[in-house]
Structure 1
Amino acid sequence: MRCRRLITLSLFALLAVSGGAACTVEGPGSSADCHVSGCTVTFTRGVDAKASVLGIDAELVAVNGNTVTLKIAGQQVLVPVGETQPAQGLDVTVQEVTDEKVVIKLSTGITTTG
């Protein structure tokens, strides 16, 4: 797991060095928009929604009221809407939950100046 964390941090650092280039990734039932500060992933509810972002697999498992259950790199994590929980060296924040989608942000905590 330490190696995966190091790779993820290196990829986020590479984004920072490359001038903050953004990328958009789409997977089954999901899309991701990545920037230097992290990646925002939008999962479609009601389907088998998964995304692979910078080598990390993220999956929407369930929504129960205001708590979202996610699987991040194989680790199950429960995150209340508007809160942040650590998972596999990343900060996982649930930004929005609607009947149609769940929006999360994956970030490393690395900030850049510029």
Structure 2
Amino acid sequence: MIVELADRDHAYGQNWHIPGSGIISGKEIVRIAQQAISGASKPVLPMGRLSLSLIGLFVPVMKEVVEMLYLTEEPFVLSGEKYERLIGPIPATSFQDGISATIHALQVRA
């Protein structure tokens, strides 16, 4: 979508939303990632506001993570209606395919 927008002069100077291919939970992301690495299931411990705030005392960027936690409380869905109206159908990669491809690409580099 970004390449398509960059190729159109009339798209410049406007705000565009790039939607995902649906809603996904953190647990589901971890499940897909674990499947992509041959079913390995290392424990993943979620961190809450307090633990992130404590880490933020030593790692300044984590303070910003705490400020953005509100985004994890409700699904955040971007509308692609404008894109569809002016350009056409939204190309979408499933979370399964995208996460798996990313992990496999990282494994090749390692």
Which is higher, the Rg of structure 1 or of structure 2?
2
The structure with the greater share of residues assigned to strand is 1
The structure with the greater share of residues assigned to helix is 2
TM-score range, shorter chain: under 0.3
With CA pairs under 8 Å and 6+ residues apart, which has the higher RCO, 1 or 2?
2
